[in-house]
Homo-oligomer: A and B are copies of this chain.
Amino acid sequence: MDALIGYGELGLGSRLKRVSEYMMKEIQLVYNHFNIDFDPYLFPLYKIISNKNGVTNSEIQNSLKYTQPAITQALNKLNKKGLIDLESDKLDKRKKIIHLSTKGEKTLTLLKPIWNSIDKVIKEYTLEHSSSLIEHLNRLENKLNEKSLSNIIIEDAKTRVRQEVDIVSFDNDYSQHFYDLNVEWLKTYFYVEPYDEEVLSKPEKYIINKGGHIFFARLNKQIVGTVALMPIGNVGEFELTKMAVAPNQRGHKIGQKLMQYCIDFAKKNNIPKLIIYSSRKLENAIYIYRKYGFIEIPVEANCPYKRCDIKMELVV
């Protein structure tokens, strides 16, 4: 059936190519899954740029042993994606010095945990004794056929990110993130009402100063999610609201981590009841709320949000 395997060492070149292409394609799926605009073939280049502080085309050439046009073209790609900045050398005007851009640094923090997962998973697949290269490739291809590399890497990356996420309290430095994360979310699922705009742009005034709390999920110093607890009508009760997770970090259960943090916070601070106003449209979210013990209760007539058609509570 699989002719290449039958050709043994003679077909080694084609074999290596096939395995390589399979791996590259699977890793592309991983990047796609986490909404990271990156290509596997750019990895060696990107790693060099991020390791050294300012590097030139020809230095990369020497490290990677690709041809010069290959490097130039890959750099063009990175530039198009906005991941690098090119600045021409003051002393030698032929040279262009390459740095990661701000976006590039940001992307790097997204890539790092994924790279760790790739390394770990591929080690699991390939750290094995064998008596010839072909034998090794046979075993590897068998394993790859059993279960897709991408799914396993994705699973690993998710738990890795989950572990690396920590929760921090409100700080004025983070207020822009609070706005951005929530507005992004609102724009995707509903639209931004004038009242949202007002509250989100002045969280200190509308939430903190009224006795509320805002928490942020942080991954490698990057803010990737947020949630707020706002005191409401009945004394002691809080509304759990303004929860949002960055699009390229969804799927890492960061929302659930924020939720758990709020519940723990409520227990510690003797908050008797948490309330959530939501929309039935958000099935996945409702599912999570129930999972954490929230139960549905009737929505009052004068619900604070137009988009709200469900109210839930958790007796802490």
Chain A contact residues, CB within 8 Å of chain B: 1-4, 7-21, 23-24, 27, 40-41, 43-44, 47-48, 62-65, 115, 118-119, 122-123, 126-134, 136-137, 140
Contacts and interface: CB of A to CB of B under 8 A. Distances in A.
Secondary structure call for the A interface: helix
Given A13-B23, A19-B16, A20-B13, A3 B48 contact: yes
A86 to B, nearest CB: 20
Contacts of A17: 16-17, 20-21, 24
A137 to B, nearest CB: 8
A12 to B, nearest CB: 5
Closest 6 A-B residue pairs measured CB to CB?
Answer: A16-B20, A126-B133, A3-B63, A13-B23, A17-B20, A9-B122
B4 A115 contact: no
Contacts of A119: 8-10
A23 B16 contact: yes
A25 to B, nearest CB: 9
Given A127-B131, A131-B129, A132-B128, A14 B44 contact: yes
B41 A27 contact: no
A247 to B, nearest CB: 25
Nearest to A48: B3
Given A10-B118, A16-B19, A133-B133, 16 more contacts: A3-B64, A4-B64, A7-B47, A9-B122, A11-B47, A12-B126, A13-B27, A13-B43, A14-B20, A16-B20, A16-B23, A17-B17, A18-B65, A126-B132, A129-B130, A129-B131
Contacts of A140: 133
A126 B64 CA distance: 24
B122 A10 contact: yes
A251 to B, nearest CB: 22
